[in-house]
Structure 1
């Protein structure tokens, strides 16, 4: 598959060609893989990395980022640091594809854990069924469809859910239409775009309005094992943008009124455990989940 590479650097507000002077020659060149995700996540993670690197220029110097947005197979993703030559990418903490791989975890969760707030896409004819469900036991009698290789599959199985795993993200709505399973669960931050770009064309699906599944599902930076200096730079930059408010501003730009629009606080809530979390994040919980308990 042909790679699509976009380059950006210091002071760029969007992904664009970095044009520098002599200082560009000493810039740190960072290979950033940003594939296998929705466009809304790609944009947020691109802007976040940009902000993190800009916040660390004084201590760590200038930078140039080569962004690769190609989609990879499961085996290719597991070799993202070796065969694909990436320096950094964003994925869920504890991604099983990286389990046996050398890597550096930057254990500062991104996007306030919103990806772990899962909403459902269901067949319209089944909306009354989901609205009537009030217990976890009843919910587990239904089946969830998950693309092959997604970390969610082992997580849902660990919690006793009925999982049908197979196909790709492109296949999943064909399978839902064929009644191979009862629902698909996607992060609240990406479900609307996924629905519009992939599910709406079937005219038989709906975003289910009453149910929220929650599990601690942190997005994090993983860094090439030979790049500890880059990992330290990301830690410094993340701390800086947390303190100066840039991280919150980027989150609000990415989500807008999503939490209210999708009615997250008003939905019936089913909580799941996440056995995939690495030891550094065993006690992680989304601040949004904390707010919903207040």
Structure 2
């Protein structure tokens, strides 16, 4: 009796088919597991639970996660984390696994950005909180050169500080934003540039009408920048999940609906279309910023940059 030699090609094909089937089954199980597993997503706890600055980013994040269909729990960190500390904790995979913040080249090197500006660039459109006693200083401001003679107040670790400095401003820095409001109340510095998406709620919280705080009514600064969600460089899966959800919300119009319902009345109340806007350069802006995708940015036709 003769033994037939095994056919090497046939054996390889059988092995290949078995491997393909096994891989497909594993993939299906992983997808099913991801859909069924609970994703616990922790963001930095704001200074207080009523902090309006956190409400929109949290709402957008919920919208994006809902669009993916995953089972998730979104919760704040156990302790209050200001942006600088939150970024450091995120780099080290501690306490939080997602942070929203204004981008710059350094942050994009150290973390993974989801390059969809969640507030359509409003973070770079700044109006001025001033002390009522400083009003006369602004009547003579006709140009960016005039603006540079005034002293803005900003946070020590904020990208905004470097942007203002790069554009010729002598910036007075403080550890965190509430100290900036204290400085303005005390008459130190000349103005506190605040994003149009933040300033209304902040002034209400600071007791506008019961203090010497005043919102300068005629001018603004603008620099191109974006507020992104950031995750750890080792957490690509979460980055892909959030990006997928954001893109689905953009495609079906729910992203724009949330943006407009949140900010249309605020922009109107701040009279943005009639302000004189001084445009600054942003040397910190990464080349990958999607500036050419007009659907991602708020750029009212009425605004004329100076």
Q: What's the TM-score bracket when you normalise by the shorter of the two chains?
A: 0.7 to 0.9
Counterparts of 1:72 and 1:94 in 2: how far apart (Å)?
Answer: 20
Equivalent in the alignment of 1:232: 240
Q: Normalised by the size of structure 1, how large is the TM-score? A: 0.81
Give the secondary structure class of the aligned counterpart of 2:129. strand
Q: CA RMSD in A?
A: 2.7
Is it true that 1:72 corresponds to 2:86 in the alignment? no
Equivalent in the alignment of 2:166: 158
C-alpha contact 1:86 1:224 (8 A) present in aligned 2: no
Give the secondary structure class of the aligned counterpart of 2:299. helix
**1:233 Cα deviation (Å)?**
1.1
Query: What does 1:127-166 align with in structure 2 at a 5 Å threshold?
Result: 127-166=135-174
Q: Answer with 201-210 or 137-146: which moved more.
A: 201-210
C-alpha contact 1:95 1:151 (8 A) present in aligned 2: no
Equivalent in the alignment of 1:27: 38
Rg larger in structure: 2
Flag the 1:72–1:201 CA change in 2: closer, same or farther, 3 A.
farther
**1:62 Cα deviation (Å)?**
2.1
Q: Normalised by the size of structure 2, how large is the TM-score? A: 0.78
Give the secondary structure class of the aligned counterpart of 1:65. strand
Give the secondary structure class of the aligned counterpart of 1:225. coil
Equivalent in the alignment of 2:103: 93
**1:36 Cα deviation (Å)?**
6.2
Counterparts of 1:24 and 1:244 in 2: how far apart (Å)?
Answer: 21
**1:49 Cα deviation (Å)?**
0.7
Give the secondary structure class of the aligned counterpart of 1:162. coil
C-alpha contact 1:36 1:70 (8 A) present in aligned 2: no
Equivalent in the alignment of 1:62: 71
C-alpha contact 2:43 2:99 (8 A) present in aligned 1: yes
C-alpha contact 2:274 2:303 (8 A) present in aligned 1: no
Unaligned runs of 5+ in 1: 1-22
Count of residue pairs the alignment pairs up: 268
Query: What does 1:242-257 align with in structure 2 at a 5 Å threshold?
Result: 242-257=250-265
Flag the 1:116–1:244 CA change in 2: closer, same or farther, 3 A.
same
**1:157 Cα deviation (Å)?**
0.1
**1:148 Cα deviation (Å)?**
2.2
Instruction: Write the deviation string for residues 5-27 of structure 1: whole angstroms up to 9, x where unpaired.
Output: xxxxxxxxxxxxxxxxxx99722
Unaligned runs of 5+ in 2: 1-33
Instruction: Write the deviation string for residues 49-98 of structure 1: whole angstroms up to 9, x where unpaired.
Output: 111011011xxx322223227433566333222263321111111175x4
Flag the 1:33–1:24 CA change in 2: closer, same or farther, 3 A.
farther
Flag the 1:74–1:194 CA change in 2: closer, same or farther, 3 A.
closer
Q: Answer with 169-178 or 283-292: which moved more.
A: 283-292
Counterparts of 1:89 and 1:121 in 2: how far apart (Å)?
Answer: 26
Given candidates 184, 188, 191, the residue that maps to 2:199 is 191
Flag the 1:115–1:74 CA change in 2: closer, same or farther, 3 A.
closer
Equivalent in the alignment of 1:84: 94
